Structure 1
Amino acid sequence: MKESESKEICPWCDTEIVWDEEIGREEQCPHCLNELSNYRTMNVDLDLEEDETRSKSVNKSNSPKENAAEDIEDINTPILDSFISKIEPKTDDLLQYEEGVYHYRRKQEESFECSNCHDFMIMVGDQEIKKDEFIPYVPVSQAQGILQAPYKLNLYICPSCFEMKPVLSEQDRLKMMDALKKQQEK
């Protein structure tokens, strides 16, 4: 086998993958852990007026269920994939949901990737942790821990699989970083 046949570029993260000739081709990228064989592309049309015209011009001779199924086949996004197999197709509801997620996500300052399905999460609120709800870890040689209550967590939810992720608020991250810096100075 030639050396060039044992190399591959991951279509997800553009990392070069060199695999062992004896073991064979990798099934998933060792860097981003995405499947290498099921890579799909998606074209997104952001012109909403054209989408409305296209959905109105669907062949009227088909039954409503067939029209909805045709529309859903045109929509191949991660947000909708999990719903299509679970509920009866309601194209307008799913499109409105996807558009709502898109517009909501654009207004966020930061976003995290879901560890479960790799879609980007949306922030849904904050949770304040009070002193009586948190016991900080304090190493033997230290006077106090690096994170002190009260502190605030930003809560994120994945719009595809609905997994929830708490993330320390930016203000409390800075406090924790200062506490760690002070630990170095001692």
Structure 2
Amino acid sequence: MEPTVCPWCQSEIVWDEEIGPEDTCPHCSNELKGYRTLSISIDREDEETDSEDLEEDLEEHDEESFGISEDEKRELQRIWGSDTENLSSLRTVDKYGEDHDLFAFEEAVEAVLDEQEEVPECFHCREYMLHAGTQRVTEEGFQPAIASLLQGPVLKPPFDMNVYVCPGCFQVQYNLAEDDRLRLIRSLIQKKE
């Protein structure tokens, strides 16, 4: 059987001869037959394009040009919100492009990301997040949950959290610092035994 190349992650997929090809990529879990390219021309004289005009243009052409079914439209609405909200609205940084050199900003972001050990993805816009620092959580600002199985708190303060900021939409996320992850694992294993 001839290998397939995933249009999303560019991975070469060699299918099992007995099972045959599937509808999704085993590497990135994206739909293989649903790959579409969306081309929007911006040849208008006026720079301020009304979002309603753009929606009407897309609605007129989506079924013919893009092959988007009603089910796919509903799924996109479920994922991205209302009809009027579009993907570019998730990248808040774009609104600062007139006053700042966003190309230099993107280069700096890439350089910082290259130095990071962990590079989580933003839950909101899927950009890679910058490690902004560590925040200490003390008993004063934290009420631990008590698990009956453990007969005590799941996570006992003080502990540290890694703070990540998204360079695209400026959302902030936290995760447990490495030492405290290990402490939590050991604590749960000991309590279980």
Fold similarity call, TM over 0.5: yes
Matches within 5 A, 1:5-154: 9-12=6-9, 14=11, 18-19=22-23, 31=29, 36-38=35-37, 82=91, 86-87=95-96, 89=98, 93-154=101-162
Shift of residue 38, structure 1, vs aligned partner: 3.5
How many angstroms apart in 2 are the aligned matches of 1:111 and 1:162? 15
Post-superposition CA distance 1:31-88 (Å, at most 9, x none): 358x732389xxxxxxxxxxxxxxxxxxxxxxxxxxxxxxxxxxxxxxxx94686355
Aligned to 2:75: none
Report the 3-state secondary structure (helix = DSSP H, G, I; strand = E; otherwise coil) of the residue aligned with 2:122: coil
| Count of matched residue positions in the alignment of Structure 1 and Structure 2 | 134
Q: Given the alignment of the two structures, is residue 167 of structure 1 paired with residue 175 of structure 2, yes or no?
A: yes
Shift of residue 140, structure 1, vs aligned partner: 2.4
Post-superposition CA distance 1:108-161 (Å, at most 9, x none): 121111122222110111211110222222222433223111111110011111
Aligned to 1:75: none
Compare 107-116 and 169-178 and name the one that shifted more.
107-116
How many angstroms apart in 1 are the aligned matches of 2:185 and 2:178? 11
* Identical columns (%): 24
Give TM-score scaled by structure 2 length.
0.54
Query: Structure 1's 89 and 142: CA in aligned 2 closer, same or farther, altered over 3 A?
Result: closer
Q: Report if the CA contact (8 A) 1:11-1:39 is conserved.
A: no
How many angstroms apart in 1 are the aligned matches of 2:156 and 2:119? 25
Could you tell me which runs of 5 or more consecutive residues in structure 2 were left unpaired when the two chains were aligned.
16-20, 40-89
Across the aligned residues of Structure 1 and Structure 2, the Cα RMSD in angstroms comes to 3.9
Could you tell me which runs of 5 or more consecutive residues in structure 1 were left unpaired when the two chains were aligned.
20-25, 41-80
Q: Report if the CA contact (8 A) 2:161-2:176 is conserved.
A: yes
Compare 134-143 and 152-161 and name the one that shifted more.
134-143
| Matching residue's letter, 1:117 | C
